[in-house]
Structure 1
Amino acid sequence: MSLVLDDVTVRRGIGPVISGVSLEVAPGEITTLVGPNGAGKTSLLEAISGVVTSVGGQIRMDDHDLQKLSRRKRAKLGVSHVEQGRMIFPSLTVHENLKITARNKADVDEALSLFPELEKRIGSQTMLLSGGEQQMVVLARAFASKPRYLLIDEMSLGLAPVVFLRLIPTIKQIADTGVGVLLVEQFAHLALSMANHAVVVTGGRVSFQGAPAELLSDGDLLREAYLG
């Protein structure tokens, strides 16, 4: 079964930032969500994971109505949210960060296999790592939790393009294990190049949904994705 959003509305302040959004994230596939700044992309991910409460529509995973569940319960069901800003525990080592979500040593080892660079820094405090290495820790920690669906919000934020290029193939590796990925990313061309599905959100509404190749080949659609 998929993660399904049906006519979802999210309010912040006096009005809706997301209005009537419907989309589906399938297991083992990547859905890339693009749109201009302020389009509501972050709020949509936060509504799925339970950071904010949606006020309309449905968010379902299998037979579970996620809107009735706390953020913690959603996480236990397998919804993992990588938020903006590299949320690390800076005073803890790389290994200690991974152990927070992993059930056992095998989960830690599997997460580390995605990022061999981290094995050399396994005993280092994460505050001493580079920005790229810290983002690797965040992604590895999310993967160590054995998610069914992984929500990733702007993982390139503050990173050099060469570092982001290193991380992109890892998202595909994670999806290949059967995890459904919903990816919000400012580097739209790169994010769309590996996606199975593309969704454009402008003004809090879905303005396009379809094949990434169709979006990449349509200059007008792509400009809307960037500029609204």
Structure 2
Amino acid sequence: MSELVLDGVTVSRGAGPVISDVSLTVRGGEVLALVGPNGAGKTSLIESISGVVGHSAGSLSLDGERIDRLSRVSRARKGIVHIEQGRAVFPSLTVRENLSLTARTPAELEAALAPFPELEKRIDSATALLSGGEQQMVVLARAFAAKPKILLIDEMSLGLAPVVFMRLVPIVQSIAESGVGVLLVEQFTQLALGIAREAVVVAGGRVSFQGTAEDLHADPQLLHRAYLGG
């Protein structure tokens, strides 16, 4: 299975680094939860992986191949798919048309829809008419249809009610179980830890904890200290 490796990655914006010296590994078939307080640099780190922003130090490799100098498009073609904040759908297009951007055949479209019976009922509706949760389902389905090796998910829950987000959590887990490596940045920390194998906490722009998600999930005090940068 695929493996994404970050070694000593630093991302700078403006006057200096927003996140420094991060090393982590995202393995196919697993979820790695990247959590921490707001402003800790999580989004900057995930954007540096997909190529939205550059990094100022360190290296990024996919399956042993350096991807540092590749464009965002080239990284996507290598299998790095980035779900950014904000449910990036094309509102004037139908659900079918949105999914057809990555699903090239009817069979691929059917496979992308399989986890989302809600979408099957609205396949020919304009995406603008869908609820926020349904739009996020479209984003997930479209990303899965792109056949990612590594899926980067940035704050999937943003603007969603917890009950809606909880409907999506098992789907992320099933995507990982299909062999995809998932790096999940999420504000609902306990839910993210509940489906992750490994966890990285960043606070103040640096890694304050790296280990099993089970350890963090079971010990609120350990999580609290990590969020404080201890």
Superposition TM-score, scaled by structure 2 size: 0.96
Mean Cα deviation higher: 60-69 or 35-44 = 60-69
Quote the Cα distance in structure 2 between the aligned partners of 1:13 and 1:139: 32
**Equivalenced residues, count:** 228
Quote the Cα distance in structure 2 between the aligned partners of 1:45 and 1:21: 11
1:61: which partner in 2? Answer: 62
Tell me by how many angstroms 1:30 deviates.
0.3
C-alpha contact (below 8 Å) 2:203/2:227 kept by paired residues = no
1:183: which partner in 2? Answer: 184
Segments of structure 2 that go 5 or more residues without pairing to the other structure are none
Quote the Cα distance in structure 1 between the aligned partners of 2:91 and 2:220: 42
Quote the Cα distance in structure 2 between the aligned partners of 1:49 and 1:155: 16
The alignment partner of 1:143 has SS state of helix
C-alpha contact (below 8 Å) 1:34/1:185 kept by paired residues = yes
Quote the Cα distance in structure 1 between the aligned partners of 2:167 and 2:220: 27
1:70: which partner in 2? Answer: 71
Superposition TM-score, scaled by structure 1 size: 0.97
Quote the Cα distance in structure 1 between the aligned partners of 2:54 and 2:104: 28
Judged with a 3 Å threshold, the aligned counterparts in structure 2 of structure 1 residues 224 and 126 are, in CA distance, closer, same or farther, namely farther
Tell me by how many angstroms 1:226 deviates.
4.8
Q: In the alignment, is residue 118 of structure 1 matched against residue 148 of structure 2?
A: no
Mean Cα deviation higher: 39-48 or 214-223 = 214-223
Quote the Cα distance in structure 1 between the aligned partners of 2:21 and 2:70: 21
Quote the Cα distance in structure 1 between the aligned partners of 2:84 and 2:227: 20
The CA deviation string for residues 80-128 of structure 1, in whole angstroms up to 9 with x for no partner, is 0000000000000000000111232222111100111100010001000
C-alpha contact (below 8 Å) 2:11/2:20 kept by paired residues = yes
2:23: which partner in 1? Answer: 22
Segments of structure 1 that go 5 or more residues without pairing to the other structure are none
The alignment partner of 2:17 has SS state of strand
Judged with a 3 Å threshold, the aligned counterparts in structure 2 of structure 1 residues 144 and 225 are, in CA distance, closer, same or farther, namely farther
* Mapping 1:198-213, distance limit 5 Å: 198-213=199-214
Quote the Cα distance in structure 2 between the aligned partners of 1:17 and 1:51: 15
2:145: which partner in 1? Answer: 144
C-alpha contact (below 8 Å) 2:208/2:227 kept by paired residues = no
The CA deviation string for residues 154-181 of structure 1, in whole angstroms up to 9 with x for no partner, is 0000001110010000001100110000
